[in-house]
Amino acid sequence: MRSRWYRPGSRPGGPAFERPDWGISHAWATDYHPETCETYRANFFPQQPERAVCDDIRHLAQDYGRLGELWPIDALAFGFPCNDFSTVGEQKGIHGTFGPLYTYAEKALRYFRPQWFLAENVGGLSRANEGKAFVSILKAFRDCGYPLVPHDYKFEDYGVPRARHRIIIVGIRDDLDGEYCVPASHSARKTAGQALAGIPVWATNQELTRQSEAVIDRLRHITPGQNAFNADLPDHLKLNVKGAKISQSYQRLDPDKPAYTVTGSGGAGPHIYHWADPRALTNRERARLQTCSEDFEFKASKENVRRQMGMAVPPQGVQHIFEAVLKSFAGVSYSTVPPTFEILRAHPDYAMQDAEQLMLSENEAL
């Protein structure tokens, strides 16, 4: 089974999951960011760099045949832009600049007719536009001929050493045997301390961030797990911030817990800081928190690598989902849990005007 992911944004590391011994390998990849495509080429297509297509999905969707000519596919894994659905933002939903881009995924499903697909987005997707955006997206994908299983995955429960919550929608084509169910977690929680232990000196992307003496001094006053707003800082080191205070600002990791969310943007505050050394993590350390393998090399400037890292889905988390899909096709039983959004799955013919009440019920239960 050949798998590929697409997205008009960066996604190295996931859902870019590859296991040739299982029959899962990448047929091609697309992104509009040149450095991200270089990361794809270096890690997945070193001998056939043309299979990493650098183009805006709005242009590429005018001729998906370009991709079909590169390599046929059996599965499609993609993430549509989260900018307008994230809780860190205005949450314009499908009315924003990026929100409507899910329609290009819908078009791809109709064009390629893969046996199954995996779509990924932020947890805020379920709340955008009072839940109506999520309902519209599910309806669009379902109308392509795929029964859906949407679920809010907490990847730290699947052995990923960081908090990463993502809505994943899995669909198996309706003319095929196999029913996907959300796999139960059997992994013990992994801590940040465990994840960052023993990084080899030869691993790439280990450049240190240059930090001012004021930042170093501030970090020395912040204990593991604390941030710039709940630590006991002297007045000259406190942040002069009006309005919302982001809890990740200068937050130091707790080595005995999973890390907090790895972000791909922002100033010095949300860089993620080591619990023992007064410094920001290197990109290789961030990659460890993302469960990227040591030989996965990010091809970009340091800040663009950080962006790629923050946009990624942890491969180890995606692995559990891919395994469950393959077991569903093979008729192999596995432990499952009810999907978060069972109410939407159970009501395929809901009326759009009922969307708000349905999603309010689900979100109150989260």
Give the three-state DSSP class for 258. coil
For 39, list phi and psi in degrees, rounded to 5.
Answer: -65, -45
With residues binned 3-state (H G I as helix, E B as strand, rest as coil), the percentages for the chain, rounded to 5, are 40, 15, 50
C-alpha closest to that of 8 among 62, 83, 58, 42: 58
Contact between 296 and 43 (Cβ < 8 Å): yes
CA distances 163 to 46, 84, 157, 182, 191, Å, are: 32, 21, 9, 19, 10
At 96, list the tokens: 């924003």
Contacts of 287 (CB under 8 A, 6+ apart): 13, 205, 296, 298, 309
Cα(139)–Cα(345) distance, rounded to whole angstroms?
Answer: 10
Question: What one-letter code names the amino acid at 27?
Answer: A
Cα(40)–Cα(299) distance, rounded to whole angstroms?
Answer: 9
Contact between 170 and 117 (Cβ < 8 Å): yes
Question: What one-letter code names the amino acid at 125?
Answer: L
Contact between 75 and 1 (Cβ < 8 Å): yes
C-alpha closest to that of 294 among 208, 196, 210: 196
C-alpha closest to that of 292 among 272, 277, 310: 310
Question: What one-letter code names the amino acid at 344?
Answer: L
Whether 181 is catalytic is no
Given the residues 37, 54, 82, 181, the one annotated as active site: 82
**Cβ neighbours of 141 (radius 10 Å):** 21
Find how far residue 256's CA is from the centre of its chain: 24
**Hey, which residues are catalytic here?**
82
